[in-house]
Amino acid sequence: MIKQISVFLENKSGRLIRIAQILGEAKINIRGLSIADTSDFGILRLIVDQPEKAVKELKDNDIMATLTDVIAIEVPDRPGGLAEVLVYLNKAGINIEYIYSLIDKPAQNAMIMMRVEQIDRALEVLENNNIPIVSSKRIYAF
Amino acid sequence: MIWNPYYEAIDREKLYTLQFLRLKQTLERVYQLVPFYRESFKQAGAEPGDIRSLDDLQKLPFTVKNDLRDNFPYGLFTVDLNEVVRIHSSSGTTGIPTVVGYTQKDLDTWAELMARTLTAGGATKESVVHIAYGYGLFTGGLGAHYGAEKIGATVVPISGGQTKRQVKMMKDLGTTLLACTPSYALFIAETMEEMDLSPKDLKLRSGVFGAEPWSENMRHVIEEKLQIDAYDIYGLSEIIGPGVSYECPAKAGLHLSEDHFIPEIIDSVTGKVLPEGEKGELVITTISKEALPMIRYRTRDITTLTSEPCACGRTHMRMKKVSGRTDDMLIIRGVNVFPSQIESILLEMGETEPHYQLVVDRVGSLDTLQVLVEVSEQMFSDHVRGLETLENKIRAEIDNLLGVTADVKLVEPKSIPRSEGKAQRVVDKRTL
């Protein structure tokens, strides 16, 4: 399981810059990100190399941030690659709450981050179907 | 026109005698029948017998809104419930509403006061009076209604909402007088423009507007747009409802019906009575009410009083347009809102120390309320839907408890400016 940082963002200019600067100054490397937004606010989801430290730094700067468990998997970087994996989860009745991708440096495979309701069950299904699950170590230390 | 020249233009010496007699009767009544008053008088070291002149009224303690709440619902009534023929109510800050009651005689008094008010605003037997104040527990609608009927005017009890239909009715029925909140009067004017109607298409000649503060500037806009005379009226349910004071054609202050109420102006900090002409908090003692007399009730409204003669011939004191409040109450679309009410809603939703801000504005002619709530650890969820659900829930609670539609917006922690650690609760951008 990977610790993702979820950050509350108001939709106004300069918010994302500030977060990037705080993490940069704390020497925290951002590995991936995605934003879900409405007209008023957004939730910024970040994968970083030091999640606990990142949350602390953000909170010290009065930014609302929490840790969320997500799963990272590798999928073959070719047409249909993602679908193959999703079918297994669908069959097992596991709902994906959100999903986004990361760029993996030796880029044969795509790296997918996903948040599901039943995280342990999802891991089990993925393992049983030999989907490569990316360890937190690999993500953080990358 | 003066509805009741005998009382409205009474010689002030005669008035003082009448006031003193009625005050004595009221004091005896509450002292004997209401434990709350008996106790508070005793604590202040004053009994009804110690009140030997109108000036002695100062010896008695104040009554505040919380006293009504502490004695909810009927604790301050001086009559049995079978004598009470009507209840009105306003929403309360902690979920306990303020309940007021009327005997038949009280309703007659109220109708008399509103007859004076509407007559001063141009109503006669021939008038068609369109009452767009809300009917129901709010005193606006029914208060104006009975006053207009007493005059013998033709009453259209349309209440609020469906503004296009209201305009159409006014046009079709030949309405001559409009009674509503000043902001609704402006909204009606805008709706008329939208409908391509000019004031010439209507027979409207005047309006009596109250239940929320408004300025001279707004009067000019309303008068210009609707081509009418616009009069300010004042009242509060704790005292009786609308009709406590009202403007006459001189439009130089609101005559306060002193044969039924004794007004004082106090320094809201020290509680000391201020000399005539000085600005302070209006305090009212009712001297003719049966069900729920109020002794030295602090209205929290800021104004000044003058007994200078008025061009209209009425002799009752005039109060200036209310210029503010001594507490943090807001009036939004005619509804009283205290920041603490919003706070209690947030507390009930599990917030331990909610940081919030109310931003009140006027867009076009209608008040808007935006509630900013800082996202806390407990509230924050990784899901957009979760946060939106939270916003909707807060909005629904505010609507449910206060009857005001609010735009609820979650904001980042510490984004609401704080002074001395406390967030600034209210930003009122309205320029009235």
* Cross-chain residue pair B382–A66, CB shorter than 8 Å: yes
Q: How confident is the model at residue A81 (pLDDT cuts 50, 70, 90)?
A: confident
3-state secondary structure of B132: coil
Q: pLDDT at position B216, please?
A: 87
Residue B92 has a pLDDT of 54
Residue B360 confidence (pLDDT): 93
Which among B362, B334, B311 has a CA at the least distance from the CA of B190? B362
Q: How confident is the model at residue A138 (pLDDT cuts 50, 70, 90)?
A: confident
Q: What is the pLDDT of residue B423?
A: 60
Helix segments in A41-111, DSSP class H: 51-60, 81-91
Q: Under an 8 A CB cutoff, do B377 and A8 touch?
A: no
- Alpha-carbon distance of B293 to B276, in angstroms, equals 24
> Does A3 contact chain B (CB < 8 Å)?
no
Which residues make up the CATH 3.40.50.12780 domain(s) of chain B?
A: 69-327
Q: CB contact, 8 Å: B55 with chain A? A: no
Mean pLDDT value across residues A42-48:
94
Query: Which CATH superfamily is B69-327 part of?
Result: ANL, N-terminal domain (3.40.50.12780)
List the pLDDT tens digit at each of the 432 positions of chain B. 999 999 999 999 999 999 999 999 999 999 999 999 999 999 999 999 999 999 999 999 999 999 999 999 999 999 999 999 999 998 655 557 889 999 999 999 999 999 999 999 999 999 999 999 999 999 999 999 999 999 999 999 999 889 999 999 999 999 999 999 988 898 899 899 999 999 999 999 999 999 887 888 889 989 999 999 999 999 999 999 999 999 999 999 999 999 999 999 999 999 999 999 999 999 999 999 999 999 999 999 999 999 999 999 999 999 999 988 888 888 888 788 888 888 888 888 877 677 889 999 988 878 899 999 999 888 888 888 889 999 999 999 999 888 889 999 999 988 887 755 556 788 888 876
Structural domains of chain A, ranges and CATH numbers in brackets: 2-67 (3.30.2130.10), 69-141 (3.30.2130.10)
> Which pLDDT score is estimated for B303?
96
Edge-to-edge order in the sheet of strand B356-363: B407-411, B366-374, B356-363, B426-428
Q: Is the dihedral of CA B257, B263, B265, B268 positive or negative?
A: negative
Name which of A18-22, A35-39, B5-9, B119-123 the model is least confident about.
A35-39
Note whether A62 contacts B382, CB cutoff 8 Å: no
Identify any residues that bridge with B305 across adjacent strands, giving them in sequence order: B319
How many helices and strands, by DSSP H and E, does chain A display?
5, 6
Q: What is the overall mean pLDDT for chain A?
A: 89
| Cα–Cα distance for residue pair B186/B178, rounded to 1 Å | 12
How far is A40 from chain B, CA to nearest CA, in Å? 7
* Residues forming CATH 3.30.300.30 domain(s) in chain B: 331-428
Tokens standing for A5? 């940082």
Portion of chain A with pLDDT greater than 70, in percent: 96
Report the length, in residues, of chain A: 142
Distance from CA of B384 to the nearest CA of A (A): 7
What CATH superfamily is the domain B331-428?
ANL, C-terminal domain (3.30.300.30)
Strands across the sheet containing A109-116: A30-37, A41-48, A2-10, A65-76, A109-116, A96-102
Quick one: pLDDT at residue A98? 93
Residue A132: helix, strand or coil by DSSP? coil
- Radius of gyration, CA atoms only, chain B: 22
Residues of B numbered 380-419 whose beta carbons fall under 8 angstroms of chain A's beta carbons: which are they?
380, 382-384, 387-388, 391, 409-415
